[in-house]
Amino acid sequence: MGALPLKLNVTTKTFSDYTQFNSDNPELILSLLDCRYLAGDLELFTKLRDRLIPEMMAQESQVLVGHLADITRTRHANSGTLSFISNRT
């Protein structure tokens, strides 16, 4: 079986990195939509997931939708119809 050309993006951020929307980096906020608890402070994760993410999405939804469309068009242009593969379980 051949190796798959996967690109991983692992980052470490502090809670305060997400309190202000940065229009220069919409993928930072959009990446929160796929956040999952793995380990660590469950209370902090719950606060992020249940309060900060919904607040940020409500405040910036129109801007984020525009950025998401731009990102999708760019990925589609670079990769054809298979922009990304998601294997959520």
* pLDDT tens-digit series, residues 18-75: 666 666 777 777 777 778 888 899 998 898 888 888 887 788 788 888 888 888 888 7
Determine the residue type at 44: L
* pLDDT tens-digit series, residues 73-88: 887 787 766 545 555 5
DSSP per position, 40-84: S-HHHHHHIIIIIHHHHHHHHHHHHHHHHHHHHHHHHHHHTT---
Residue burial 4-13, b: 16+ Cβ < 10 Å; e: rest: eeeeeeeeee
* Tokens encoding 75: 């990925």
Structural contact between residues 26 and 33, judged by C-beta atoms closer than 8 angstroms: no
Sign of the CA dihedral running 74, 20, 54, 44: positive
